[in-house]
Amino acid sequence: MARKRRDEQPKSANPSNAYIEGAGLMVEERITDTLRKNFMPYAMSAIVSRALPEIDGFKPSHRKLLYTMYKMGLLTGARTKSANVVGQTMRLNPHGDAAIYETMVRLARGNESLLHPYVDSKGNFGKVYSRDMAYAAPRYTEVRLEPIAGELFADIDKETVDFVPNYDNTTQEPTLLPATFPSVLVNANVGIAVSMASNVCPFNLAEVCETTIALIKNPEHDLLSTLKGPDFPTGAFMLYDEEELRKVYDTGRGSIRLRSKWNYDKSANCIEITQIPYSTTVEAIMEKIVELVKAGKIREISYLRDETDINGLKLTLDLKRGTDPDKLMQKLYRMTPLQDTVSCNFNILIAGMPKVMGVREILEEWIAFRTECIRRRVFFDLHKKMDKLHLLEGLEKILLDIDKAIKIVRETEEESEVVSNLMIGFGIDNIQAEYVAEIKLRHLNREYILKRTEEIEQLRRDIAEMEDILKDVKKIRRIMTEELKKVAQKYGQPRRTLFYDLTDEPESTAEDDTPDYPVHLFLSAEGYFKKITPQSLRMSSEQKLKEGDTVMQQKNASNRTELLFFTDQAQVYKTRASAFDDTKASVLGDFVPVKLGFDDGERVRYMAVTDDYSGYLLFCFSNGKIAKVPLSAYATKTNRKKLANAYSAKDPLVQILFITEDCDVLLRSTNNRAIVFNTAMLLPKTTRDSIGVQVMTLKARGAKIEEASILTAEQYESMQKYVVKNIPAAGGMAKDLEIAGQMTL
C-alpha cells in the first residue's frame, strides 16, 4: 500500500484563495494503482512519443527538427547558424536546446553517423567513431538540408500525411514524413524506451530500393539476392554469415560481426587502421590495446598513436622487429574491439504500437504506407484539377457571348447582384460566376479565353487517368517503382562495408596469447606454491616458509607450463603457471587448496609439470604395486579444471614419480628390504585409477612400501645387488641403504 499526502492549505477568508476540500489528509492507495496512474503513462510516452522510430524512419525529435528546417526554407536556401534552427525547433520540441542540437549533430554530414546525412553541415560536428572529439557549440556551426531531404518532404503539402497541433496549439506538424524511399532501413536508428529498445542497422540505399521494387513485383522475392547485407557509415568488413543474415531478415533480431580495415606499411614497419566497426570508437580500441600491452599479453607493439585528421580516421601501430602483422591482427581481432558485434533489434512503431519485424515485414509495411501517401496525393491533385475544370467550364460558356457578359456587369446596378445575374444569364453556378466576375477587364478578350479553355480537354484526360489510378493499386505501385528507381539513380552510392568470408581462411587454432618466459616453481609440503622469475631468484634465493614446512618440489619451467596438482583424495586439479602471479622468495606464496578450490580437508601430494603431456606417472602404493599411467591420460579437449579418479584409492599411495623415459627405480619396504627395477618391465595402463601390477613382494606381516625414488646412473652402479630381472621380487636386506636412501630423497 502507498500513502499519498495532499498539500495542506489553510482556510482563508479571502475568496480569491481557493480552498481544497480534504487537503492534508493521508489517503491509502494500492501501489499497483499508483503505478498504473503515474508510471504507465510515462512508459507509454517514452515508447510512443520519444524513443522508437516509426515507419518513415524517424523518431519525433528527428521529424520535428527536419520539418522546422524545411519550413525555414533551408532545402534550397543558404546555410544558417545552427542556433537559429535550434530556436525555431523549440516551437515543436520543447525539450531544450541541448537535446535538439544533439539530434542535429547526429543527422549532420560532419558527424558521419548516417549513410545518407539529411543535414549539410559546416563546422565541427564531432565524429561518430570518436568518443572524445566534442562538437562545437551551435553558435559556431552552420546548417541547411541536404538535397536527399527533399525526398522526405515530397508532396507533404498535398495532404499525403496527417498533421496535428503542436504542444501549445499554435501551429501544425506532420505525424509522419512521406519519404519516397524506405528511409527506415537506409539510416541507422537506436532508441532505448521503457522495457524495450530498438536498434535498426543501415542498409545500402540502392540495394534497398532494388529490393523494394523486387518485393512489389514478387512478394516471395529472396531478399538476400538483392539486399546483400547491412552497410555501415564507418565501412569496415562484415564477416559474412548467411544463416545469421537470414535470421535478421526473417525475425528482426540477430547480430552482425564487423572487422576493422587495415594495411601494412613495410617501409615504416607499422599497421595503419583506417576503418573500424560502427559499434566502437578509436578511444575504446586504444585503451584496450594499452591495457593488453601493460598486462604483457601483447608484446609486438612498440608504440600506438591516433593520426586521425581532416582526411579521416587513422590509427597507427608501430611494430617491433620481426613481428608478423597478419598474426598480430588476428590476435587483436580476438582481444580488442577491432572486431566487434552490432546487435539488431528492428523494433518499430506501426500505428502507434511497437513491433519487432524482419526486413521483409518492414518493407511490406513501408509499401503499404507509401501506397497510402501516393493515393492521398493523387486524390488531392484530382480535386484540384476538378475544381479548375469546373471554373474553366464556366469560362467556356462566356466564350459564346463575351458582349453579353460585359453588358450584364455594366447594367447591374448593385455590385452584390453581379454574381447572381451572371449565374442567371449563362446558367453557371456561384463558384463559376465568382471566377468570371473576378476576371480583369484586360482579359475579357477572345484570345485569353480560348487559351484558358484549351486546357479543358487535357484536364479531363488527367482527371480520368487519376480516377483510374485510385481504382487500381497496381498503377499506384507502378508510380512507387518509378520513384524508387529515380531515388536510387540520383542518390545511390557504392557499398562502404564490404564482405569477408571466414570460409576463405585456413582453419587454425586460436594462438596462445599468454606471455611466455622462464620461471622457477616451488611447492612446499604444506601446499604453498611460488612462481619466481630467474631475475627475482638471483636477487634473493632464501625461501620463506611456515614453521615446520619444507620445499617438497622445485621445477624449472615456463609461464605457459601446464600444472597438475594431485591430492590425497585421488583427484587432480589442472591449471597453468600463468594462473599464479609472479612472486618473490621472501613471501609464503599461494596456498594451492584455496587458489584452486580444493574440497574440504584435501591436501596436495604431488605437482606434475608438462608442456605437451608426454611421459609417464608412476603411482607407487604401500602394498608393493605400481601403476604406470601415461601423462596424456590427463589431457582433455575441454578446459576441465578438476578430474576425479586420478589414481587408485584402493591402497594408500606412497609416492608419485614422473618419468620421461624408462629408468631405474628403487623401492624400499618397512622391513628393510629393497629392490631396484627398470620401469620398462611395467606396461602402461590406459585407465587412470588402475591399481597397477605387483612389483615388490612383501612377505613379512605388516610390511609396506615406505620409499620410492628414481636412481641416477651413479646410484644405480652402487646398488647392483638389489637389481632384479623379473617382477614381482622380494629384494634383499637394505640396512646399508640408510644414507643412500636419504640421498635418493
Residue 687 lies in a domain: yes
Residue 104 lies in a domain: yes
Residue 516 has pLDDT above 50, yes or no: yes
pLDDT value of residue 158: 94
Q: Which has more pLDDT, 685 or 83?
A: 83
128 and 38 in a common domain = no
Lowest mean pLDDT segment, chosen from 41-45, 263-267, 599-603:
41-45
105 and 30 in a common domain = no
pLDDT value of residue 54: 94
Residue 430 has pLDDT above 70, yes or no: yes
Average pLDDT over residues 569-585: 89
173 and 77 in a common domain = yes
pLDDT value of residue 739: 39
26 and 86 in a common domain = no
Average pLDDT over residues 220-245: 94
pLDDT value of residue 147: 96
265 and 159 in a common domain = no
Lowest mean pLDDT segment, chosen from 536-540, 568-572, 710-714:
536-540
String of DSSP letters for 562-612: EEEEEETTS-EEEEEGGGSPP--TTS--EEHHHHTTPPTT--EEEEEEESS
583 and 710 in a common domain = yes
Helices (H), 170-266: 183-186, 205-217, 242-251
pLDDT value of residue 9: 47
What pairing do the DSSP bridges indicate for beta strands 518-524 and 353-356?
unpaired
Residue 449 lies in a domain: no
pLDDT digits (tens, 9 = 90+) for 449-481: 778 778 888 899 999 999 999 999 999 999 999
Host H or E run for residue 27: strand 26-29
pLDDT value of residue 604: 93
String of DSSP letters for 119-170: EEEES----TT-SS-PPPPTTT-EEEE-GGGGGTSTTGGGTSS-EEE-TTSS
Last residue of a domain, one of 179, 211, 241: 179
93 and 20 in a common domain = no
Q: Return the top range by mean pLDDT from 338-352, 452-466, 489-503.
A: 338-352
Residue 343 lies in a domain: no
Residue 304 has pLDDT above 60, yes or no: yes
Mean pLDDT for the chain overall: 88
Residue 137 has pLDDT above 80, yes or no: yes
Helices (H), 492-550: 534-539
Residue 483 has pLDDT above 60, yes or no: yes
pLDDT value of residue 511: 54
Residue 16 has pLDDT above 70, yes or no: no
Burial (0-12, 13-18, 19+ Cβ within 10 Å), 528: buried
CATH number, domain at 697?
2.120.10.90
Residue 493 has pLDDT above 90, yes or no: yes
Please write down the HEC assignment for all residues of 41-62.
HHHHHHHHHHHCCECCCCCHHH
Residue 244 lies in a domain: no
**529: number of Cβ within 10 Å:** 24
Tell me what percent of the residues of the chain surpass a pLDDT of 90: 56
pLDDT value of residue 736: 60
Residue 682 lies in a domain: yes
pLDDT digits (tens, 9 = 90+) for 122-131: 999 999 999 9
160 and 57 in a common domain = yes
Residue 504 pLDDT grade (very low, low, confident, very high; cuts 50, 70, 90): low
CATH number, domain at 169?
3.90.199.10
398 to 401, 429, 443, 726: CA distances (angstroms) = 6, 13, 12, 136
Last residue of a domain, one of 337, 367, 382: 337
Beta bridge partner(s), residue 391: none
666 and 540 in a common domain = yes
Q: Which has more pLDDT, 38 or 306?
A: 306
Q: Return the top range by mean pLDDT from 14-18, 33-37, 673-677, 727-731.
A: 673-677
Residue 73 has pLDDT above 80, yes or no: yes
CATH number, domain at 271?
3.30.1360.40
Residue 6 has pLDDT above 80, yes or no: no
Average pLDDT over residues 707-726: 87
b/e for 445-484, b at 16 or more Cβ within 10 A? eeeebeebbeeeeebeebbeebeebeeeeebbbebbbebb
Q: Which has more pLDDT, 407 or 315?
A: 315
The x, y and z cell numbers of residue 17, run together, are 484563495
Residue 623 lies in a domain: yes
100 and 21 in a common domain = no
The SS3 assignment for 320 reads coil
Which residues constitute the domain of residue 14?
A: 2-42
Residue 222 pLDDT grade (very low, low, confident, very high; cuts 50, 70, 90): very high
Total domain count, the chain: 4
Q: How far apart are the C-alpha atoms of 722 and 734, rounded to whole Å?
A: 9
Last residue of a domain, one of 281, 302, 337: 337
Q: Among all residues, which ones are annotated catalytic? A: 140
271 and 148 in a common domain = no
Q: How far apart are the C-alpha atoms of 451 and 442, rounded to whole Å?
A: 14
pLDDT value of residue 296: 79
Residue 510 has pLDDT above 60, yes or no: no
Residue 620 pLDDT grade (very low, low, confident, very high; cuts 50, 70, 90): very high
pLDDT digits (tens, 9 = 90+) for 153-207: 999 999 999 999 999 999 999 999 999 999 999 999 998 888 889 999 999 999 9
Residue 165 lies in a domain: yes
Q: How far apart are the C-alpha atoms of 590 and 587, rounded to whole Å?
A: 9
129 and 6 in a common domain = no
